[in-house]
């Protein structure tokens, strides 16, 4: 919204004088901002609540994977089939 203009009579003609925002204008803007904020937070809360799976709490936790043989630094599992050479 823009500020309102009113005409003021001076010596050589009409001049538009700008008036600053009034208290009513500021209160309307504040109320509008609060309504937008409440709607945005409410919408976010509804979406967050809808994303919660109600069945997840009632099911038991997933079992852990059995421990696998650790790999060496090359990224491959150690090869135990090769017999070591004796010197």
Domain boundaries, the chain: 22-51
Instruction: Classify each residue of 7-34 as buried b or exposed e, where b means 16 or more C-beta atoms within 10 Å of its C-beta.
Output: eeeeeeeeeeeeeeeeeeeeeeeeeeee
* pTM for this prediction: 0.46
Tens digits of pLDDT across the chain (87 residues): 555 666 556 666 677 778 888 999 999 999 999 999 999 999 999 999 999 887 877 766 666 666 665 555 565 666 667 676 777
């Amino acid at each position: 919204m823009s500020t309102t203009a009113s005409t003021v009579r001076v010596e050589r003609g009409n001049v538009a004088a700008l008036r600053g925002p009034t208290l009513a204008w500021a209160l309307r803007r504040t109320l509008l901002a609060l309504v937008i904020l409440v709607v945005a937070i409410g919408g976010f809360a509804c979406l967050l609540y809808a994303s919660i799976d109600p069945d997840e709490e009632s099911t038991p936790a997933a079992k852990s994977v059995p421990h696998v043989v650790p790999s060496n630094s090359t990224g491959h599992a150690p090869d135990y089939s090769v017999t070591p050479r004796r010197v």
